[in-house]
Chain A
Amino acid sequence: MRILSLIATRLAKAVVVLLLIVIANFLLIHAAPGDPAAVMAGEAGAADEKFIAQLRERFGLDQPFLVQLWTYVKGVLQLNLGYSYRQQAPVLDLILERLPATLLLTLTAFVISLTLGVVSGVVAAARQGKWTDSLVTSLALLFYATPLYWLALMAVLLFSVQLGWLPGYGYETIGSDATGLAHALDVARHLVLPALTLGLFFTAIYMRMTRASMLEVSGMDFVKTAKAKGLSPGRVQRRHVLRNALLPVVTLAGLQAGQLVGGAVLTETVFAWPGIGRLMFDALAQRDYNLLLGILLISAALVIAFNILTDVIYSIVDPRIGAAP
């Protein structure tokens, strides 16, 4: 029940924030120099005044700014994100078509980085000062400094071009008519490199955080008490230290969600992964403002969803936290 009311209050807040984001993005994009109608007319090869005026009227660009904003917000409230004149399709359809690929990529990267990061962080803390610790810590430092897109390119070069182990681009084998399990395996093989390269940077962050947090909690009084009670060291580590040490890691994971979604733009570009990151980049290049607004809104919604998810996990991991919103 407590968790349900937590989710309810967070969702109500999220709606307000998303509305504000819609307005802010709308303002931002309309502050851009250059008239989209003029750009479109220019590309159509007919830059005369009459044609531009026609385009403006057709897209409602001749309306006063506030009317345009109101029309857009009203549409968003009815889950209508407008029409992409470039792709000749409703924005929502375009996004929904690409969203599963991005969700698959970011969630896989999220799970990989959190699991790998926490496990290696715990190991490093347990072997503090030994060579395992130095190795893990150095690797984390290295991954933390590596540009994501460069790591992706190098991974393609090594594992795809040189060794031929994994496909280096795309979501599935083009022209393959595999279905069911065979298709899932095909997608999974395509997912390995993008998810790993997107996840490694975040693995480094979680590892450092987990290690520092484990060491800090290990020195606290309640751990001494647990040891003094005669509990086995393994039990103290698992039940007392790890559970408390994970709290800051969970908080951090929620905050990193936005970066994960942003990082997907780079990863999707390198791997030709058909997600909303690449869609966003195409929308920018073509000045497809309706599509761009829609993608920004959906990615903000993703970030909020990630944040709510981490809050829920937090309240499960740490029973001291009440349902305080």
Chain B
Amino acid sequence: MSLAADAPRSAARGPVLDFWFRFARNRGALLGLLILLAVIAVAILATVMFPQSPWKMVQRPFLAPFQVEGLPLGTDTLGRDVASGLAHGARVSLIVGLVSTLFSLAIGVPLGAAAGYFGGIVDDALMRFTEFFQTIPPFALAIVLVAIFQPSLTSIVAAIAVVSWPPVARLVRAEVMSLKRREFVEASRLAGLSNAHILVRQILPNAMSPIIVMASLMVATAILLESSLSFLGLGDPNIMSWGYMIGASRTVIRTAWWLSFFPGVAILVTVLALNLIGEGLNDALNPRLARKGR
């Protein structure tokens, strides 16, 4: 049993180091990692750097950046500190991105794995179900879900997960379908292992690389989705987020450009970092595929 499981993995010697070297060869990925670490640091330190609530008014409204010491990014329409909003918003973006990705993996991986492994009617039924979900425009569905179940952190995370799982299911299905014909799976079957055991312990571990790459890109997409919802006023009303900051200052963009500009840059940089990391992970985990594409 251990023989069968180890066979496909045995190629890598010193797997962690090996992985890191391949990842670090992609300079963009390193840059992305640095940026992401910085964003994480800001998110963690937000309450230390800006102990006051980001909703609190601290100065007169519409203060331009660098006019008053201590308020490097100025104040918004109600005199709230933009820099504090950005720091606290980093938290929301990262948490929503991560948690909703985990939830969509929790839906997509089992569905895709079952469809790919069992084939036949199970596959047909699950794939029709997946296609059905892909027919409703994802962003429109997310808006409706959040609006109907009232905007809150929970409903936002749930809505993003509900609209993002179909690509995961398709990817996992394709991976499982190709893996289940391999010799080590044959061997496990001959050894009398149960379907559940083969699927969870033998096949899925070998399908992890593309799932990890996709997950890193999904965190980026989820952050974009959350910011779009908040921009439309469908964010959690108790939580400061980047999308909300842009949406709230939209009407004054002609006079106070910085209110929309900085949160947008924050989103762009964070999403860019995650995408770069995704590419690096792809290079490091699927070296064969990566070389083909460049």
Do B132 and A215 have beta carbons less than 8 Å apart? no
Which of A27-35, A82-90, A91-99, A230-238 contacts its partner?
Answer: A27-35
Which of B10-18, B56-64, B205-213, B266-274 contacts its partner?
Answer: B266-274
In angstroms, Cα B144 to Cα A292, docked, is: 9
Query: Is B188 an interface residue, CB under 8 A from the partner?
Result: no
Overall SS of chain B's interface: helix
In angstroms, Cα B153 to Cα A303, docked, is: 29
Known contacts A32-B149, A153-B264, A215-B293; A145 and B271 CB within 8 A of each other:
yes
Q: How far is the CB of A303 from chain B (nearest CB, A)?
A: 5
Do B140 and A161 have beta carbons less than 8 Å apart? no
Query: Is A132 an interface residue, CB under 8 A from the partner?
Result: no
Task: Determine the residue in chain A with the shortest Cβ distance to B263.
Answer: A150
Kindly list chain A residues whose C-beta atoms are within 8 Å of the C-beta of B268.
142, 145-147, 150
Task: Determine the residue in chain B with the shortest Cβ distance to A302.
Answer: B137
Q: How far is the CB of A48 from chain B (nearest CB, A)?
A: 25
Kindly list chain B residues whose C-beta atoms are within 8 Å of the C-beta of A144.
275
Digitize B228-263: 1 where CB-to-A-CB distance is under 8 Å, 0 elsewhere: 100110000000000100100010011001001101
Query: Is A265 an interface residue, CB under 8 A from the partner?
Result: yes
Q: How far is the CB of A104 from chain B (nearest CB, A)?
A: 17
Known contacts A21-B132, A303-B137; A28 and B148 CB within 8 A of each other:
yes
Kindly list chain B residues whose C-beta atoms are within 8 Å of the C-beta of A148.
228
Known contacts A153-B250, A216-B292, A304-B135; A266 and B275 CB within 8 A of each other:
no
Known contacts A28-B148, A156-B253; A299 and B137 CB within 8 A of each other:
yes
Kindly list chain A residues whose C-beta atoms are within 8 Å of the C-beta of B132.
17, 20-21, 24
Digitize A255-284: 1 where CB-to-B-CB distance is under 8 Å, 0 elsewhere: 100110111011001100000000011001
In angstroms, Cα B259 to Cα A153, docked, is: 11
Task: Determine the residue in chain B with the shortest Cβ distance to A30.
Answer: B148
Kindly list chain B residues whose C-beta atoms are within 8 Å of the C-beta of A219.
292
Task: Determine the residue in chain B with the shortest Cβ distance to A297.
Answer: B136
Query: Is B139 an interface residue, CB under 8 A from the partner?
Result: yes
Task: Determine the residue in chain A with the shortest Cβ distance to B150.
Answer: A33
In angstroms, Cα B250 to Cα A261, docked, is: 22
Do A150 and B272 have beta carbons less than 8 Å apart? no
Do B140 and A150 have beta carbons less than 8 Å apart? no
Do B135 and A21 have beta carbons less than 8 Å apart? yes
Do B150 and A281 have beta carbons less than 8 Å apart? no
Could you say which of B131, B136, B145, B224 has the most chain A C-beta atoms within 10 Å of its C-beta?
A: B136
CB-CB contacts below 8 Å: A210-238 with B: 212, 215-216, 219
Do A265 and B139 have beta carbons less than 8 Å apart? yes
Q: How far is the CB of B112 from chain A (nearest CB, A)?
A: 16
In angstroms, Cα B13 to Cα A275, docked, is: 57
Q: How far is the CB of B259 from chain A (nearest CB, A)?
A: 10
Known contacts A144-B275, A153-B246, A300-B136; A281 and B227 CB within 8 A of each other:
no
Query: Is A149 an interface residue, CB under 8 A from the partner?
Result: yes
Query: Is B294 an interface residue, CB under 8 A from the partner?
Result: yes
Do A32 and B148 have beta carbons less than 8 Å apart? yes
Query: Is B79 an interface residue, CB under 8 A from the partner?
Result: no
Query: Is A154 an interface residue, CB under 8 A from the partner?
Result: yes
Do B293 and A261 have beta carbons less than 8 Å apart? no
Do A149 and B231 have beta carbons less than 8 Å apart? yes
In angstroms, Cα B136 to Cα A21, docked, is: 8
In angstroms, Cα B232 to Cα A280, docked, is: 12
Do A266 and B261 have beta carbons less than 8 Å apart? no
Q: How far is the CB of A150 from chain B (nearest CB, A)?
A: 4
Could you say which of B147, B148, B243, B250 has the most chain A C-beta atoms within 10 Å of its C-beta?
A: B148
Do B264 and A255 have beta carbons less than 8 Å apart? no
Kindly list chain A residues whose C-beta atoms are within 8 Å of the C-beta of B269.
145
Do B231 and A266 have beta carbons less than 8 Å apart? yes
Known contacts A28-B148, A219-B292, A284-B147; A147 and B228 CB within 8 A of each other:
yes
Do B264 and A303 have beta carbons less than 8 Å apart? no
Kindly list chain A residues whose C-beta atoms are within 8 Å of the C-beta of B220.
145
Could you say which of A32, A141, A262 has the most chain B C-beta atoms within 10 Å of its C-beta?
A: A262
Do B267 and A150 have beta carbons less than 8 Å apart? yes
Give the 9 A-B CB pairs with smallest separation, nearest first: A262-B139, A150-B264, A262-B137, A145-B272, A145-B271, A32-B148, A258-B137, A261-B137, A212-B293
Add 9 more A-B contacts to A17-B131, A296-B141 (CB < 8 A).
Answer: A17-B135, A147-B268, A153-B250, A153-B253, A154-B261, A157-B253, A212-B293, A215-B294, A303-B135
20 contacts between A and B (CB under 8 A): A28-B144, A32-B149, A141-B276, A145-B220, A146-B264, A146-B268, A147-B227, A147-B243, A153-B260, A161-B253, A216-B293, A258-B134, A258-B136, A259-B137, A262-B139, A262-B142, A265-B139, A265-B140, A300-B137, A303-B134
- Residues of B near any A CB (own CB < 8 A): 28, 131-132, 134-145, 147-150, 220, 224, 227-228, 231-232, 243, 246, 250, 253-254, 257, 260-261, 263-264, 267-269, 271-272, 275-276, 292-294
